[in-house]
Amino acid sequence: MRRLIVRSFPRLRRLELTILWGAEDDLLSYTVQEDHHLIEVNDCFRRANRCALEGGITHELCHIDADLRMGGYQRQLAWSRYSQSRWCRIREERATERRVIELGYGTHLLALVRFAHRLAYSFSREHGLLYSEILRAVETGRKTAPG
């Protein structure tokens, strides 16, 4: 995971960040406790392949990176809106997944969604991009990527 952070999230290199098992309600989640960032991963991911796990962790790292680009008041306002407004959640989750794809982790995001579907989790726009939207973005990226 350190390689993933160094390569794609240089702003997070010196950040106090812990990734651990134990998310209960969500597949993955992130919180901040006294300037320490914590990504919790549901135990069901112990059976996931590395690609799916990296897709989920990259998604959470994108949230952290976006939050660090804001000032304290702006961040608190964004968190408040996220928790109170379905529309704000949809907008934030979809923007986060677009960022994951921009960073080159679209196939990892696809693996995450496939793994979650096997566990009977379902995704809606409130969770981010739909599988078909991710697939289309990944395929479009392959066609336009220099090569």
Written as tens digits, the pLDDT of the chain (147 aa) is: 778 888 899 889 889 999 999 888 889 999 988 889 999 999 999 999 999 999 999 999 999 999 999 999 999 999 999 999 999 999 999 999 999 999 999 999 999 999 999 998 888 888 899 999 999 999 987 654 444
- The model's pTM: 0.90
**Residue whose token pair is 């350190």:** 2
Give the DSSP H or E segment for 81. helix 72-84
Spatial neighbors of 20 by CB under 8 A, at least 6 apart, are 38, 39, 40, 41
Contact 116, 27 (CB under 8 A): yes
Strand order in the sheet with 17-23: 17-23, 36-42, 28-33
